[in-house]
Amino acid sequence: MERLKVVVRYAAGDLIKGFTQDFFPNKERFHVFPVDQSHSRAVEVSISELKAVFVVRDYVGDDQYNEKKEFTEGDTRTGKKVAVSFTDGEVMVGSTLGYDRNRPGFFIFPADPKSNNIRVFAVSSAIREVRQL
């Protein structure tokens, strides 16, 4: 499996930036190799403790950039356009191929094509509301 560059955000607020090769949305656990070398080995991560897994372009991002929370005119992407409200107050706008509250989570593809996030696995237990746009 390809190495994914991820930022793992725990529901409690902590985060880990690193690589993973064994993340699958139907598995309860996966491993992250932190980029900051705070751990010499992979960190085992439990999906049930997370808010989301962000698959990112880079770890730095741009603090000055305000991600667009709307789709551009004529956007023809596949899937349902949704606004996802997390329990911590964050709102993410994007498209999803499917959402089922009874599953551990689902993928969101950001509406903003310039987002640092390529896709986000949102954990169901960290979601307050999913609203179709």
Give the pTM.
Answer: 0.92
Confidence bin at 76 (pLDDT 50/70/90): confident
User: 23 vs 4, 5, 46, 114, CA distance in Å?
Assistant: 9, 11, 11, 24
pLDDT digits (tens, 9 = 90+) for 8-48: 999 999 999 999 999 999 999 999 999 987 667 899 999 99
Return d(Cα 29, Cα 50) in angstroms, integer: 11
Read off φ and ψ for residue 47, nearest 5 degrees. Answer: -55, -40
Q: In this structure, how many other beta carbons lie within 10 angstroms of the beta carbon of residue 91?
A: 12
Q: Kindly state the tokens that stand for 14.
A: 């902590």
Predicted confidence at residue 38, as pLDDT, reads 65
pLDDT digits (tens, 9 = 90+) for 92-122: 999 999 889 899 999 999 999 899 999 999 9
Coil vs helix vs strand at 47: helix
Q: Are 82 and 96 in contact (CB under 8 A)?
A: yes
Return d(Cα 130, Cα 82) in angstroms, integer: 7
List where CATH 2.30.30.100 sits in the chain: 4-56, 80-132
4-56 architecture in CATH? Answer: Roll (2.30)
80-132 architecture in CATH? Answer: Roll (2.30)
